[in-house]
Amino acid sequence: MEATGSVGEAPGGRRVLVVGGGIAGLGAAQRLCGHSAFPHLRVLEATARAGGRIRSERSFGGVVEVGAHWIHGPSRGNPVFQLAAEYGLLGEKELSEENQLVDTGGHVGLPSVSYASSGARVSLQLVAEMATLFYGLIDQTREFLHAAETPVPSVGEYLKKEIGQHVTGWTEDEETRKLKLAVLNSFFNLECCVSGTHSMDLVALAPFGEYTVLPGLDCTFSKGYQGLTNCMVASLPEDTVVFEKPVKTIHWNGSFQEAAFPGETFPVSVECEDGDRFPVHHVIVTVPLGFLKERLDTFFDPPLPAEKAEAIRKIGFGTNNKIFLEFEEPFWEPDCQLIQLVWDDTSPLEDAAPALQDAWFRKLIGFVVLPAFASVHVLCGFIAGLESEFMETLSDEEVLLCLTQVLRRVTGNPRLPAPKSVLRSRWHSAPYTRGSYSYVAVGSTGGDLDLLAQPLPADGAGAQ
């Protein structure tokens, strides 16, 4: 399709452009495409596929989720769950009333096995004890939402302060106390994955309770999460989504004219990286925050109002990646679901920061055991933060070698067969994403998220 996107179309009606073909952009397009006031609608997607950070790939003989993995809180209040149910993408168990009523508190389940870096197994009773402490404190952090002031600025500082007080009451021997702290450190790393941050010290305490935890047992899509966004694309009129059309600059709040529309003036002109321009009355921007942070100075002309630009700078946006390892034979038990890694010499109360190249793998929380594909056995590791971003700079061979050594070390089996292959996400390196997801950082509030959603110009004379 040509840049004007409408040669041969009848003039009249509001022209709307959605920038970004992830689930937010597709959702916006779905809402608008059936509306008579907006007969001319286009979605510009920078890459060759829709879905954004929902990305299912055929690999290892089955479907793996390179991006979004679970529907968290799959119950009636969850729009993703509702859409998935509407499209018939979930099974009877996922749709059952019983499944929807399970209250997990938003916490990840306990590991099936916990390996220490010494090669010994950690007592699951001790892990459960530390999980009760950690998640109890996480629940406490949500109670500061409406407090006049908070004792410390960040979630991490609050957790460490409370844990420090608990430690003084521990009566076990020094070795057990150190192991407890190492297990707690593993839970900190897990929470970094959940929040998409490098450190919980970066996550603001006061707004942490704004996240709504919905009931429901987390569930997956048997045929891939991307089936959801594929259905959304299919529901739109043909050719609504234009692929491989990255936007360079959104020129807004102006008076733009195009030869293809004689006598018409448009408040917005969307300029693409290939030089094409789309004149429109309204544009809805759904690009990832990481991309906005990187392109803030050039993506909008004129620049965004100071308060919006400041909100973009202040809200946190971190990286959480996955590393899939394929094995010929499983070394784990048949009923194993989650493998936890604990590094003996770590503690959340100590700010040790070894060089990334020497210790990036210590941020790995462990592995989720994926359902077996025929005779293929796959582990999915999760890693967040700067260590995760460093991992992206390594070759597949380097990652495979490193994690083979880690697994041999923690299992105490120096002859453990190396994985056959590796697949991993690289969300920080992706040029139109630049990370995984946002969090309310210290110095920002939930109000900054609301501010970003407000239309421009503020007087409603036009819209962006």
Phi-psi region at 412: left, alpha or beta (left = phi > 0; alpha = psi -120 to 50): left
Burial class (CB in 10 A: 0-12, 13-18, 19+), 395: exposed
Does 100 fall in a domain?
no
Spatial separation of the C-alpha atoms in residues 464 and 462, rounded to whole Å: 7
Digit-coded pLDDT (tens) for 158-198:
999 999 999 999 999 999 999 999 999 999 999 999 999 99
Digit-coded pLDDT (tens) for 380-413:
999 999 999 999 999 999 999 999 999 999 999 9
Spatial separation of the C-alpha atoms in residues 118 and 178, rounded to whole Å: 13
Per-residue pLDDT, 12:
65
Does 440 fall in a domain?
no
Spatial separation of the C-alpha atoms in residues 63 and 41, rounded to whole Å: 32
Q: How far is CA 371 from CA 226, 326, 337, in A?
A: 18, 12, 9
Per-residue pLDDT, 1:
24
Per-residue pLDDT, 37:
80
What are the residue ranges of helices labelled H in 112-199? 124-141, 155-167, 174-195
CB 383 within 8 A of CB 320: yes
CATH of residue 383's domain is 3.90.660.10
Does 403 fall in a domain?
yes
Distance of CA 58 to the CA centre of its chain: 20
Per-residue pLDDT, 4:
38
Does 464 fall in a domain?
no
Per-residue pLDDT, 259:
87
Count of domains observed in the chain? 1
Does 418 fall in a domain?
yes
**Closest to 422 measured CA to CA, from 446, 403, 443, 444:** 403
Per-residue pLDDT, 459:
66
Does 71 fall in a domain?
no
CB 339 within 8 A of CB 365: no
Does 222 fall in a domain?
no
Backbone angles phi, psi at 224, to 5 degrees: 105, 135
Q: What is the residue range of 178's domain?
A: 107-212+320-426
Written as six digits, the tokens of 290 are 């990481």
Digit-coded pLDDT (tens) for 297-348:
999 999 999 999 999 999 999 999 999 999 999 999 999 999 999 999 999 9
Per-residue pLDDT, 463:
44
Does 276 fall in a domain?
no
List per-residue pLDDT tens for the chain, 464 residues long: 233 333 334 356 899 999 999 999 999 999 999 788 888 999 999 999 999 999 999 999 999 999 999 999 999 999 999 999 999 999 999 999 999 999 999 899 999 999 999 999 999 999 999 999 999 999 999 999 989 999 999 999 999 999 999 999 999 999 999 999 999 999 999 999 999 999 999 999 999 999 989 999 999 999 999 999 999 999 999 999 999 999 999 999 999 998 888 999 999 999 999 999 999 999 999 999 999 999 999 999 999 999 999 999 999 999 999 999 999 999 999 999 999 999 999 999 998 778 899 999 999 999 999 998 878 999 999 999 999 999 999 999 999 999 999 999 999 999 999 999 999 999 999 999 999 999 999 999 999 999 999 999 986 544 44
